[in-house]
Structure 1
């Protein structure tokens, strides 16, 4: 993979790719830290720079990179000059403004948005295995606490029980802030989990995922508690059917836009088009939102071994919402649904 990164640096006329981003650092080095700088040069040599908090562990654990101690910005710039790094390739979406200004002081900057996306989007067998385990742990966790999801428990209490279960079954915590949205709150796709008490007749959306080996899962299930309005039951079936349409549309060579269009058209045909307010899905891996994006604006093409979510939703203000989400492995002739949790 590092050889391919070097070739891309060369194609852009740069001397090295530089990233300070923690997710990209982990992807490149396999080492997790709150501070680090990865450099992959056009010559094929690679460096990982970190401070004293991580230095000794990095020297033992990082492979394929020469580990260098961080001292100061002036020392870093001196290091660039000593190694002949004059043209630095960066992803501007992954840099703080202050960092960008430091790098551009004395060096030529070559900007390439989403520089690592093409590498990260297609997963290796090892990455697929780690994502699969993260999915399995998340599913086991939800099953173990599902009996608690009934009138009287609050959203935050249920989230706490689910988070505890992640650790119990071998997860590394939340992949993102778990959403438990009940009643009218379920009509807000990114509801902030609250102290609201779940009641009879509520729709409850649970959007959750854990981390295993640095890779994430992302699943959503919607539960109908007790005497739910008949329209919400109908909406649930529309979303479930729309998701099946989306999963069936997945296969290598198909455009992400086509998949989104298939799902969106189905929901529109049922009269709920204006209430599907987000994209159909996204890639997952080291981060919970990665390339590709299954949206009407996407120009990306699905490739074998991409892992994407399919998560249609319908959200009716002051009534409630439904979202169903699964993690899917893209194959040559279709897709394998990694998450097997009962809908």
Structure 2
């Protein structure tokens, strides 16, 4: 079982007050009078509210974070009892669903009730964000609101990319759970089992160790490597000479881990061993490069040099790692041109991968937190040699 202490579920009102106060400082720089959020991660980030009811797309949910005044939840009546258990004090509701006015007039009056300095509201219109409301309702709100609605995604990501200590503790905990399950996996599987059955065993073990869910677990196998890393598992039986790749995005209390492990099915080719070792070294280089003040481009270059020297012919992933938190993947991206400056308390994945022959790819991944002294590993480091399954 996991050796580290489980963090307390949920967060204190002080934690949310700190988040909102920091958000306001960033909102000033982006010249927003308020942020309007509607997607589950952003609503949860500012309020602590969570519900399995997010699976139903029937009703929209809104939270307004003003530059002055307390945040306001503008939500369907059905969610009010649970929202009242959070730190939120101002909860405004309407009877939903109502296709003629699904909270739009209430949302309009709420936004317009706050003081105006810049005449702009920021919302989830940009990269890696999505509005959780009908586009027709968004257009209606834009037409009737007495303020400009602008892309607030850069502002929201600037807020969320830097984690609090409590958030990092949550991510560390789920990383340790998945690490322990990965280490235990070889003892429970054998040559001739299907990818699907292997994943089923790993999912069960991760849940048994304390994860809340595992919404992401692609797995694929192939002789000496795999052609892709985002699909599967399939019914293919793992065979002698295969590399088995498994990635997981498991969660604890709303926060993700995201890292993979590779397993050798019996004896694998010398080329696969060589590439695996090169990627292990590239991971080391990427971790060491992720220091405060460096840029994501620098982290990319540190890994890319080793990968290129090892004879890479491609990498269909398009980047060598990314941000991590309440979503499986978050900004920034380790790629040339991203240009994000790495700062203390970011949580990042380090993910070098390479195709070394047509249809044969191997990928490594670890999760780290950035401290003032440099990177701190949140996962348990993968072994330099692939664990062997016989």
TM-score under structure 1 length normalisation: 0.92
Deviates more, 1:31-40 or 1:314-323: 314-323
Q: CA separation in 1, counterparts of 2:28 and 2:380?
A: 43
Which residues in structure 2 correspond to 1:23-172 (within 5 Å)?
Answer: 23-33=41-51, 34=54, 35-60=60-85, 62-71=86-95, 72=102, 73-83=104-114, 87-93=120-126, 94-95=130-131, 97-107=135-145, 108-172=148-212
CA shift, 1:91, in A, is 2.7
Q: CA separation in 1, counterparts of 2:173 and 2:32?
A: 38
Q: CA separation in 1, counterparts of 2:257 and 2:361?
A: 22
- Alignment deviations for residues 143-162 of structure 1 (CA, whole Å, 9 cap, x no partner): 33332333111111111111
CA shift, 1:318, in A, is 4.9
What secondary structure does 1:268 align onto?
helix
Change (3 A) 1:280 1:146: same
- Alignment deviations for residues 49-90 of structure 1 (CA, whole Å, 9 cap, x no partner): 222332101112x21451221343233334334556774221
| Structure 2: stretches of 5+ with no match in the other structure | 1-18, 55-59, 96-101, 384-390
Corresponding residue for residue 36 of structure 2: 18
Change (3 A) 1:3 1:148: same
The answer to whether the 8 Å contact 2:350/2:365 transfers is yes
| Structure 1: stretches of 5+ with no match in the other structure | none
Change (3 A) 1:49 1:291: same
Q: Does 1:180 align with 2:219?
A: yes
What secondary structure does 1:115 align onto?
helix
Q: CA separation in 2, counterparts of 1:161 and 1:312?
A: 27
Corresponding residue for residue 14 of structure 2: none
The answer to whether the 8 Å contact 1:90/1:115 transfers is no
Change (3 A) 1:7 1:342: closer
Q: CA separation in 2, counterparts of 1:18 and 1:319?
A: 44
Change (3 A) 1:277 1:211: closer
Q: CA separation in 1, counterparts of 2:317 and 2:114?
A: 49
TM-score under structure 2 length normalisation: 0.81
Change (3 A) 1:254 1:18: same
Q: How many residues align?
A: 341
Q: CA separation in 2, counterparts of 1:12 and 1:40?
A: 14
Q: CA separation in 2, counterparts of 1:11 and 1:160?
A: 47
The answer to whether the 8 Å contact 2:26/2:158 transfers is no
- Alignment deviations for residues 142-183 of structure 1 (CA, whole Å, 9 cap, x no partner): 233332333111111111111111221110111x42011100
Change (3 A) 1:149 1:314: farther
CA shift, 1:252, in A, is 0.6
Q: CA separation in 2, counterparts of 1:316 and 1:192?
A: 21
What secondary structure does 1:54 align onto?
helix
The answer to whether the 8 Å contact 2:74/2:106 transfers is no
The answer to whether the 8 Å contact 2:26/2:159 transfers is no
Q: CA RMSD in A?
A: 2.1
Q: CA separation in 2, counterparts of 1:294 and 1:166?
A: 28
Change (3 A) 1:32 1:197: same
Q: Does 1:221 align with 2:261?
A: yes
Q: Does 1:234 align with 2:274?
A: yes
- Alignment deviations for residues 262-309 of structure 1 (CA, whole Å, 9 cap, x no partner): 111111122215347431111111111112222112110111111111
